Amino acid sequence: MKVKTMLFDFDGTLADTLPVCFHAFQEVFHKYDSRPLSKEDIIGMFGPSEVGIIEQNLHNRHYVKKAIEDYYDFYDKEHTKLVNKNTEILELIRLLQEKGIQYAIVTGKARRSYEISIKHLFPTDTFHISITGDDVIHPKPHPEGIMQAMKRLSASTEETLYIGDSTADIQAGLSANLKTVGVNWLSNSHGSKFVVKPPHYEFTNIADFIRTFIESGHMR
């Protein structure tokens, strides 16, 4: 079957942004709750956008709005220091454009942090379609965001891949009846264990993914 559409998660899949996410959350929860958080603690909160994470987990409720603003301030100021551009990812996007394969982002990030990362890492017109955590009622592993992206692209389930680095990504893709690709190709991907149900394909190398799905253009 020919691959005509690829839907990508963002954090840990196309952008190595987890270090700046961790930093911003650790700063905020330390400042307002005097609460140290490990990376594992933060990953355990993932699902909703960063706004939802702070709203649901900050103990000092009086400071939720200030904490959200501080999160974005930390995220923007430390982005260049903590997150590097990835030339292989930029080449991947260039090849998708060259081959005429539709692509879009489906991420749990809020629009605001997503646009900060795009500003730092990608040309501004790289992703014409992006579904963020602000655009859905139900975050991943619910497939709502994927279904929105597919509708906007007029994509068929038989010719679409969903690519992500977390168990929630794979669950969302499977719930949308898509072929799923689990990746662990960035330094700070969530990890290679997909604990509920395995994806159809797994890659630890961007070049192998390009050879398999972009240069060949077909699903195995």
Q: How many CB atoms lie within 10 A of CB 12?
A: 25
Contacts of 150 (CB under 8 A, 6+ apart): 5, 7, 157, 160, 176
Q: Catalytic residue at 208?
A: no
CA nearest neighbour of 106 among 126, 124, 132, 125: 132
Between CA 118 and CA 120 the distance in angstroms is: 5
Say if CB 90 and CB 31 are below 8 A apart: no
DSSP 103-161: EEEE-SS-HHHHHHHHHHHS-TTS-S-EE-GGG-SS-TTSSHHHHHHHHHHT--GGGEE
Give the E-state strand segments of the chain in sequence order. Answer: 5-8, 102-106, 130-131, 160-164, 179-183, 201-203
User: Is 46 in a helix, a strand, or coil?
Assistant: coil
Q: Which residue of the set 9, 11, 16, 165 is catalytic?
A: 9
Between CA 18 and CA 188 the distance in angstroms is: 6
* Residues with catalytic roles: 9
